[in-house]
Structure formats: C-alpha cells, structure tokens
Amino acid sequence: MNKWLLGLLVLILAVQIYVGIIINYPPTPEQLTLSASLIPVWGTRILTLVTLLVGLRWWVTKTNKIWGKNIGWLSGILLVVSPLFFGWWYLYPVEAIKVCLLFVGWKFMAYSFKLKAIVLIVLVAGLSLVSTEERSSIFHKLSFADAKKEANIRFDREDKLNDGVYMPLMVRRLSNNKVYVWYKEIVGEIIPFFDLETLFFQEVTPTEQKSIVIFYWVEVFLFGFGIYVLTKEKWQKQRLVLFLMLLAFINYLLLAKPIYLKLELTLIPISLIMGLGLTRLIELKKQYWAAGMFLGMMIVFIGYGVITNYFDLALRPSYWLDNRPQVYDFVYKNISQMEEYMGYHIKVTSLVGNSTGYCQYYLHGCSSSLLKMNGFDLTKERVESKTIYAGFAGEFFGAKVNNEVPPDWQDQLSRMGLVLIESLNIRDSVAYRYGNKIIIAVSK
C-alpha cells in the first residue's frame, strides 16, 4: 500500500509543478528577500519544495510510529493535495520553513514532551512575529487605547440620539465601557480561528473572500468522522493533536498576513484527524457496505476537488493568488525594455510595499539616482520633464473612495503632458482608493 501512496504523492507533486510552470507567477517579496535576487525564482521554489518534502518525510515516519498503520501516509497525502501546500513552496518560503521546522520538532517529540512543547511554541511564535514587519491586529486590540476611543464614540452617539434615554453615567458605564469593548474586540479576533467557511468552503464561499483553498468542502465530513475516531484514542495521542492545534492558534494570533496564512498550521492537525478517519473507514468497509460507500464517495469527491481546483488555478491564478506581485512584475518588466528612454528619471509606486527586491531582480541593480521608489501624486505635484511614471491610476488622477478610474483617463494623460506606454488592469484591489489600473507613462 505504501508504494501506491508514494505513487499518488509523486503524481500530485507533478501536477503542482506543472500548474506552477503554466501560470509562471511572479515572485513574492519574501522569495526575493531569501534569494537576495541571486537565485532564479524557480531555484528558490524547488529548494523550498525539497525542504518541505524532507520535513514531510519526518512527519510521516513519526506519525506512523505513534499511530501505526498508514495514518502518517494518509495524513501526508491529504496535506499535500491542499492548494495551500502548493502555495507554501510556490509563493511563501518563509512559511514553508516554519512548517518544516514544525515537522522536525514533531519527529523528535515523545509522549513526555513538556520541554519540546515549549521549544516549539517559542519557535512558532518567534517565526510568526519576525516573518513580516507588520504587527498582527491582536496587538492593537490588546491595547485599551482603541477600546477607550470606541467606548467614547459610543457615548457620544448615544448623547446625539433624538429620542435619547437619559440614565446616570455610572449605570451607562456598567453596560458599555472600555473593558466591555476590549473584551468584544479580543473575542472578535479569536472567533475566526474556528471559522469552518474559511477552512472548508473557500472554493464556494458566498463572500468571495480572497484566499487560497485550505481544504476541499467534502473533507468537512471526513474531519467530523475523524474527530469521533480521535475521541476513542488514548489521552497521550489526543494531547498531541490538541498541541498541534494550539500551535496553529498561536500562529493565527501572531501572524500579520492574509487569513489563509494565519490559518495555515491548522492544515497539519486537521490532516492528521482526517487521516485517522480515513484509516478507520478503510477498516470498516470490510464489515459494513455503508462505510465502503462513504469511503468511495470521499475519494471521488476529493479527487474531483483536486482536479477542478488545480485546473481553475491554472486558468485564473489572479483569482486565487495575491495580485501584488503582478504589479511590480508588470512595472519593472516594462521599464527594463524601455531602452529608448535611457537617462530618464523613473518614479515608481510604493502603495503595495517596498519594491527594492523587484528592482534588483528585474533591473539587476537599483543604485541609480534616477530611480525613485517612494511613489508620487500628480494631483499635488507638477509633471517633471524626461520622467517615467509607473503607478496606480489614483496616483495620476487622484484617489477615489470607490476605486474609480476616469473614463477619459487617456485624454487626461495627454493634457498632463504624458505619453502612455502601457497599462494593466489587475483583478482585485490591492491599493484601496487608487484603482485597479496600473499605468506606465512618460513625459518628454
């Protein structure tokens, strides 16, 4: 059976690599940071994938040793088929390193694991904090300053009601105060960790939340059955799964990244739980035909989910993946080809983060004094001669709350003394109020 599972694993990885080659998505900032722009982006991706597979091997070995049978292999397969696993090695090497270190810790963790548990908690917390310069929103919520501000706003609104209910301030403070607001905000940060929609129904979410799929919707039934199987296991094994969920919760609270990355470590314990359920179904199918039918349905629907999701990912990468790398990919690729404007000043948007890594990657150096990467606002500053402007429409024509781009934007460019070189519409808004159109224009 291990040979069949190994063959399935190789097939899934081959599909992921093929899809990655087809979409050829631009590198992310953390890929450029790790490679220092010296290693081709695919070199970074392959190294990341190898690192993940080494860690996954340790995960499978240790899990099989603890639970026996093929639970390690099955949970590993369920983990790898997730589009999030693809996202780890294809886009997010820092997160992949975190996951690999967690696998290493899992391999060397025995039932007496207090010290190792502390080490893993510190490791996950540390990596979650340093993986981005931004602070997680939980830190802002922990401060009473925001809670006090919101409580005062509520009181002010109550006082301005036409039909106000006048009560002593002390009574009002008992039911509406900064402690209550602080508690409400903290709970609001914690509750989404248990959001089954983001975990299992991202492919069919009615809100069209921007996210990579973590689990396929049909797996929620396997997860429920796996929880039932887990309740029959010994406490030592249950404790290990709960500890993995604790690590996932810490990562969720401390990581200041998109929701699917905040929830990324749930992929490990939930895959293990589903592996338990799948193993039990394989055993029960010999005795109960209903178990065999349920198992068959799970395999068919999960297989269908894998095929449709990776097919859709190949067709519409910008729908599922972060659009910000597309901005700088478009900007610097075009700038690198504008040889006729050699010696012109260049001003590049900074609305989606620092672009130094992209500049070094595409232009092979950013030391020129002609290049400015701190953005511009042509509604407040004059157009300079012999200058290339590359940025969002809002930087040319003014920011709009509804992200609107003037219908006569090309005519406005001409009136400003700019010549349009190239433009691109990106699917999702990555610079609120500045529109989804990227414009490269030059002044003579």
- Tell me which of 272, 292, 320 is where a domain ends: 320
Do 289 and 345 fall into the same domain? Answer: no
How far is the first Cα of the chain from the last one, in angstroms, to the nearest whole number?
A: 69
Residue type at 190 in one-letter notation: I
Which class for 356: exposed (0-12), middle (13-18), buried (19 or more C-beta within 10 A)? middle
Residue 206 has pLDDT above 70, yes or no: no
Q: How far is CA 305 from the centre of its chain?
A: 20
Residue 150 lies in a domain: no
**Domain range for 109:** 2-138+189-320
- Tell me which of 268, 299, 320 is where a domain ends: 320
Q: What is the pTM of this model?
A: 0.85
Residue 182 lies in a domain: no
For residues 439 and 423, is the Cβ–Cβ distance under 8 A?
Answer: yes
Do 296 and 405 fall into the same domain? Answer: no
What's residue 174's pLDDT? Answer: 65
pLDDT band at 64 (very low <50, low <70, confident <90, very high): confident
pLDDT tens sequence across 256-266? 888 888 888 99
Residue 193 has pLDDT above 90, yes or no: no
Which class for 169: exposed (0-12), middle (13-18), buried (19 or more C-beta within 10 A)? exposed
pLDDT band at 170 (very low <50, low <70, confident <90, very high): low
Q: Which of 157-161, 228-232, 344-348 has the least mean pLDDT?
A: 157-161
- Tell me which of 320, 343, 364 is where a domain ends: 320
The more confident residue out of 8 and 88 is 88
Residue 296 lies in a domain: yes
**With pLDDT > 70 as the criterion, what percentage of the chain qualifies?**
87
pLDDT averaged over every residue in the chain: 82
pLDDT band at 303 (very low <50, low <70, confident <90, very high): confident
Do 235 and 112 fall into the same domain? Answer: yes
pLDDT tens sequence across 108-124? 665 456 777 788 888 88
Structural domains in the chain (count): 2
Residue 161 lies in a domain: no
What's residue 85's pLDDT? Answer: 93
Q: What is the DSSP string of 29-49?
A: HHHHHHHTTTS-HHHHHHHHH
Do 206 and 329 fall into the same domain? Answer: no
Residue 180 has pLDDT above 60, yes or no: yes
Residue 151 lies in a domain: no
Residue 413 lies in a domain: yes
Arithmetic mean of pLDDT, 124-142: 75
Residue 318's CB is within 10 A of a number of other CB atoms, namely: 13
What's residue 360's pLDDT? Answer: 82
Residue 143 lies in a domain: no
Do 277 and 364 fall into the same domain? Answer: no
For residues 359 and 419, is the Cβ–Cβ distance under 8 A?
Answer: no
What's residue 168's pLDDT? Answer: 67
**With pLDDT > 90 as the criterion, what percentage of the chain qualifies?**
11
pLDDT band at 18 (very low <50, low <70, confident <90, very high): very high
pLDDT band at 147 (very low <50, low <70, confident <90, very high): low
Residue 208 has pLDDT above 60, yes or no: no
Q: How far is CA 424 from CA 75, 239, 393, 427, in A?
A: 42, 51, 10, 10
The more confident residue out of 307 and 195 is 307
Do 250 and 105 fall into the same domain? Answer: yes
Do 389 and 262 fall into the same domain? Answer: no
Residue 179 lies in a domain: no
Do 299 and 411 fall into the same domain? Answer: no
Do 377 and 304 fall into the same domain? Answer: no
Do 360 and 216 fall into the same domain? Answer: no
CA-CA distance, 299 to 307, in Å (whole number)?
12
What's residue 116's pLDDT? Answer: 77
Do 133 and 51 fall into the same domain? Answer: yes
Arithmetic mean of pLDDT, 356-374: 78
Residue with tokens 């929609």: 197
Residue 156 has pLDDT above 80, yes or no: no
> Is residue 389 classed as helix, strand or coil in its secondary structure?
strand
Arithmetic mean of pLDDT, 345-349: 88
Arithmetic mean of pLDDT, 27-42: 77
pLDDT band at 50 (very low <50, low <70, confident <90, very high): very high
Q: What is the DSSP string of 58-96?
A: HHHHHHHHHH-TTHHHHHHHHHHTSHHHHHHHHH-HHHH
Residue 36 has pLDDT above 70, yes or no: no
Residue 17 has pLDDT above 90, yes or no: yes
Task: Name the packing angle between helices 93-107 and 114-130 (round to 10°).
Answer: 180
Tell me the β-bridge partners of 348.
Answer: 390
Do 392 and 276 fall into the same domain? Answer: no
Residue 5 has pLDDT above 70, yes or no: yes
